[in-house]
Structure 1
Amino acid sequence: MKAYVFPGQGAQFVGMGKDLYDNNPLAKELFEKANKVLGFRITDLMFEGTDDDLKQTKVTQPAIFLHSVILAKTLGEEFQPDMVAGHSLGEFSALTAAGALSFEDGLSLVYKRALAMQKACEASPSTMAAVLGLPDEKVEEVCLSITGEVVVPANYNCPGQIVISGTNEGIDAACEKLLAAGAKRALKLKVGGAFHSPLMEPARAELAEAIKNTTIKAPICPIYQNVNAKAESNPDMIKTNLVAQLTAPVRWTQSVENMLTAGADHFIELGPGAVLQGLVKKVNKEILTEGRS
């Protein structure tokens, strides 16, 4: 069974999507449609911008969404997923590729999400850190032990790799404790803020209204959503889970495990980079993975 997976923020690179634009008429049409929907030429930033241009959340998120979704659209009849999932932002790509969201609505939601998250980051200086080599339970225990600051698990990426999220002081204190507890690494990430933490509450509230007013249909196959790692096809539940996603952890390890249990034996990553293929292999090194970018 084929599981198509869609990457999140961090996978971007200058030149992403240019081959598609240059060599596929449908891709070119969709990229130009995106430029009109957004009101600026995101293709110029994707194809010829700088790393700093692409690192802006308001550019990164729609850029990765477009690369992933347009790849899926250009596959045509070949795109026959038995299940889909996306990491954080990638969940919107997965829903759009699987027909739950229209191209325009998916892009509009992603752009609103990006702007809301950027605003929340600017309001509360905060960060994230990758923690390697400790069991999930130990990382959770250390996060709970930090008092007076926000520190929470944000991404359960694969066994032995969790990203934590919180205030700058909280993350510093947690990293010190995690290293003392035996973590191989506790490394602060170059991100704009504490994604998937309570500090994103202003963005969640803003996005909730936009999601409520957007039509979401049943996807062509189940989507394994970040907040609970369970297969979902009901549009109302999909909306509820999407709203919760901004302040809740991404349960990627559990999503992959549940897709494997459901019969997935071939994971195909659509979008820039190959991060998700690597994470899938960390869950089950025997599984077949491939990427399209």
Structure 2
Amino acid sequence: MVGFAFPGQGTVRVGMGGWLRRDPEAAAVLAREPLAELCARGPLERLVATDVAQPVVTAVNLAALAVLAARGVVPEVVAGHSVGEVSALCAAGVLDVDAALRLVGERSRLMASVPGTGGMSAVMGLPVERVEELVTAVSTPDEPLVVGLENAPDHIVVSGAFPAIERLTALATDARKVVALKVGNAFHSPLMAPALDAWAAVVRATPMAPPRVPVVPNTTAEPTTDPDVLREALIEQLTGRVRWAATMARMSDVDTWVEVGDSKVLAGLMRSAGLRCASMADPATARRLEPVG
């Protein structure tokens, strides 16, 4: 069984997609997203902005997907990390390329419009149960803090109000380290709620086909082919938790994962969880995979 995993916003960097721009199938996809030109030259300050990073990463993901499709390599299950979930829906046939790019464009615009009153920090070396205890101890109704992402059993990202993050950092003396992330806001937290209604309207207005293969949504970590479940999960993901560690554990029967994009982040997480995962950041990966049929 082959699974495709699609990286998210945090993997953006100057120079990403370099070899993909030289591939005709991939280049045709990149040409559909004008912001993709920023990949080659930056500047980094502009590239990492939410309203740029999300469309750029999605374009690169879908360009890598086009390379695999042209070689007859298709997935039997798909998942995406955060905004990468939209790429996964495209790989499953739920969305076409143009619809996926439009949807991510709206998502990034809405998220960037939320006032930046919060941030995110990675808590390393503690299980999610302990981080949840810390979050409960420091969070208040006016200064909320939640577990935003479970990237691995000992790599948890908290998301919320800056004062609450400061309180958690001071309290988490048993953590290996707590690292502030360079992000524009508190993604996957209640602070994204101002964008939720508009995002829900956009998602519900977007035509979606039944998936050809199971999709593992971030908020449930359970594979599904139910279009209604996928639609609601995509909406809830804006303020909800990315359960990536649970996704990896749930899909341990997949023989080979492929990180589809220009990143090795998910491949690293999956290998640390004992899963076999290749990355499309290596141009040779596509040549090594066996076509289906």
TM-score normalised per structure 1: 0.92
What corresponds to 2:16 in structure 1? 16
User: For the Cα contact (< 8 Å) 1:13–1:272, is it kept in 2?
Assistant: no
What corresponds to 2:39 in structure 1? 46
Percent identity (aligned): 35
User: Which ranges in structure 2 are unaligned for 5 or more consecutive residues?
Assistant: 282-293
Q: Call closer, same or farther: CA 1:97–1:166 in 2, change over 3 Å.
A: same
What corresponds to 2:76 in structure 1? 82
Matching of residue 189 in structure 1 with residue 181 in structure 2: yes
State the Cα deviation string for residues 227-276 of structure 1 (Å, max 9, x = none).
Answer: 0101011111110110000111100000111111xx21211101122110
Q: Which amino acid aligns with 1:79?
A: V
Tell me the distance in 2 between the aligned counterparts of 1:267 and 1:58: 29
Q: Which amino acid aligns with 2:177?
A: R
What corresponds to 1:269 in structure 2? 259
- Cα offset for 1:25? 2.2
What corresponds to 1:232 in structure 2? 224
Tell me the distance in 2 between the aligned counterparts of 1:60 and 1:32: 16
User: For the Cα contact (< 8 Å) 2:29–2:66, is it kept in 1?
Assistant: no
Query: Which aligned pairs between 1:93-242 and structure 2 lie closer than 5 A?
Result: 93-120=87-114, 123-148=115-140, 149-179=143-173, 182-242=174-234
Higher helix share: 1
Q: Which amino acid aligns with 2:155?
A: Q
What corresponds to 1:248 in structure 2? 240
User: For the Cα contact (< 8 Å) 2:270–2:276, is it kept in 1?
Assistant: no
SS of the equivalent of 2:187 reads coil
Matching of residue 289 in structure 1 with residue 282 in structure 2: no
What corresponds to 1:280 in structure 2? 270
SS of the equivalent of 1:254 reads helix
SS of the equivalent of 2:206 reads coil
What corresponds to 1:68 in structure 2? 61
User: For the Cα contact (< 8 Å) 2:260–2:280, is it kept in 1?
Assistant: yes
State the Cα deviation string for residues 93-143 of structure 1 (Å, max 9, x = none).
Answer: 1111221111111101101111111111xx241100000111111100110
State the Cα deviation string for residues 54-108 of structure 1 (Å, max 9, x = none).
Answer: 1111110011101011111122253221111010011011111221111111101
User: For the Cα contact (< 8 Å) 2:13–2:48, is it kept in 1?
Assistant: no
Tell me the distance in 2 between the aligned counterparts of 1:264 and 1:147: 38
User: For the Cα contact (< 8 Å) 2:148–2:187, is it kept in 1?
Assistant: yes
What corresponds to 2:284 in structure 1? none
Q: Call closer, same or farther: CA 1:97–1:175 in 2, change over 3 Å.
A: same
SS of the equivalent of 2:249 reads helix
Q: Post-superposition, which runs of at least 4 consecutive aligned residues in structure 1 deviate over 6 A?
A: none
Tell me the distance in 2 between the aligned counterparts of 1:234 and 1:156: 24
User: For the Cα contact (< 8 Å) 2:14–2:40, is it kept in 1?
Assistant: yes
What corresponds to 2:48 in structure 1? 55
Across the two proteins, how many residue pairs are aligned to each other? 278
Tell me the distance in 2 between the aligned counterparts of 1:89 and 1:137: 25
Tell me the distance in 2 between the aligned counterparts of 1:72 and 1:30: 10
Q: Which amino acid aligns with 1:7?
A: P
Q: Which amino acid aligns with 1:289?
A: C
User: For the Cα contact (< 8 Å) 1:92–1:110, is it kept in 2?
Assistant: yes
Tell me the distance in 2 between the aligned counterparts of 1:79 and 1:112: 30
State the Cα deviation string for residues 16-40 of structure 1 (Å, max 9, x = none).
Answer: 223222x222222222233xxxxxx
TM-score normalised per structure 2: 0.92
Q: Which amino acid aligns with 1:3?
A: G
